[in-house]
Structure 1
């Protein structure tokens, strides 16, 4: 059964605490790896929360760092136990580890700034559009896999409709996302109508980046910037890949993407202009 505990967040915070203990001890990840006879990459993955961590791992690391506070050790081991529980998304079947990490981060984020160049963001998709996107992107996926992926995508949208602390979502879409016919013309018409509906929500901002803008910073690819309520959780840039995803947390990297996003927002149509633009495209699909 899926747990209410967010395992991704537990791993992330546990990794931050383990990094803090290592740095207080004045040890490098390589030195720790040598002491435990493991790879340096394992220590790095444990600290950045990208790898599942066992209670034994925590015990061994606390031993290397000579942690004397038994209460702290027990607390960290409890976090390790919780980090191995399943999140709600596991009820939808097997998902790639990288996608599971993103869902966990998104579930805990207070805001997401997203730039999309080709498709409507998952948080704003209708069921029919989502199914058509998934079938097109994963043509070899079974019917069950498609249903599970659609189910996860729609469940993620609950954050937008939460009565308390809904997700603050800001999306900049390239005009291509409106012009590319996903499914059929009716699917597109319904999807664009859905965009207008969601754009009226106080915590959702939608901007279209028209072709007339010409070249812009987003031409390097799509990305999302996730921010969290807990000050110990650093802002994260997420870049989706085919076989693996990229998570950037270094301040300089996050800052660069933040500046890129500000340029995109400045070049895009404002909220009212965006709704009018979408309405005009809807009329074209109705012809």
Structure 2
């Protein structure tokens, strides 16, 4: 694992996170043990797992063999890296063996700031368990699979305490009752209280024509690297870097100008929740808002 290297790319963050996950899944080795066995420094392996160095095919082959990854999976992963190694464009896919939430979590934990735009559902970093599982089932996941994904999603939420996070939410998402009215009510309560936990939540009213793309997305900003945009598809995810991610950076500027303030957002969410409970006075206030 030596010689001249390209600068690290967004794909190296994803691949490094996968290598860390495979080390933990297939071995009992800590980082120092694995580095010693691979005959490299622990600092080098740490930079590899954190995507702070460009990862070559040889790196992947050595570590997968060391970790005892089955031959079929090892071959598939190496082929994916070989195909991806020549593409430094905008598209970066999660590798085999990495769930979309695992890939995204690896970036969220190292990001200086995370911004999300959600159109028809509450963003996953702010889900309650009932709402999150119901939303995944509505998206086509079997119930047992949704339960498994919730565990990974719950782990991602732990990053909120150390990351500057702002969620911009289209008001349509506040009226979509994944899991039923009671579950939505609890989700809205959780959302309204987010500001007390240092989370930025801002609603975009339907009357504000933001002119943004119709899909939801997350933008991750890093202290020393260009931003990475994440777009969740039906059963997979796509990561964009380079010029494509800059488009989403410009979107955040526009959202900042059209969204309700944090205080007004809290008031509006409480009004919507009261409407679910049939509070006539709050219903009138909602219509006047």
Q: Could you tell me the TM-score, scaled by structure 1's length? A: 0.66
- What corresponds to 1:207 in structure 2? 202
Query: Which residue in 2 is equivalent to 1:14?
Result: 53
The residue that corresponds to 1:265 in the other structure is 256
Q: 2:83 aligns with which of 41, 52, 55?
A: 41
Structure 2, gaps ≥5 residues long? 1-23, 32-44, 58-79, 279-289
1:117-136 CA deviation, whole Å, 9 max, x = no partner?
01111111111111111111
| Post-superposition CA distance 1:187-235 (Å, at most 9, x none) | 1111111011112233x1110001121x323343111110124x1x331
Who is 1:218 aligned against? Answer: 212
One of 191, 195, 219 as aligned partner of 1:195: 191
Runs of 4+ residues deviating >4 angstroms: 2-9, 45-52
2:154 aligns to what?
Answer: 154
Structure 2: how far apart are the matches of 1:183 and 1:254? 33
User: Using a 3 Å threshold, how does the CA distance of structure 1 residues 7 and 100 change in structure 2: closer, same or farther?
Assistant: farther
Q: Is the 8 A contact 1:12 1:50 kept in 2?
A: no
**Counterpart contact for 1:119–1:177, Cα < 8 Å:** yes
In structure 2, what is the Cα distance between the partners aligned to 1:182 and 1:245? 21
Q: Which secondary structure does the structure 1 equivalent of 2:122 belong to?
A: coil
1:81 alignment counterpart: none
Q: CA deviation at 1:274?
A: 0.4
Counterparts of 2:250 and 2:127 in 1: how far apart (Å)?
A: 27
Displacement of 1:270: 0.6
1:248 maps to which of 224, 235, 240: 240
Distance 1:285 1:4 in 2: 50
Residue 95 of structure 1: how far off its partner (Å): 5.1
1:283 corresponds to which of 268, 271, 274: 274
Q: Does the 8 Å contact 1:8/1:105 carry over to 2?
A: no
2:166 is matched with which residue? 170
TM-score normalised by length of structure 2: 0.65
Question: Does the residue aligned with 1:44 lie in a helix, a strand or coil?
Answer: coil
Q: What is the match of residue 61 of structure 1?
A: none
Is 1:237–2:233 an aligned residue pair?
A: no
The alpha-carbon deviation at position 12 of structure 1 amounts to 3.1
Matched residue SS, 2:269? helix
**In the TM superposition, what is the alpha-carbon distance from 1:239 to its structure 2 partner?**
1.3
Compared CA separation, residues 39 and 126, structure 1 to 2 (3 A): closer
Query: For the aligned residues, what is the CA RMSD?
Result: 3.3
The structural deviation recorded for 1:160 is 1.8
Say how many residue pairs are matched: 217
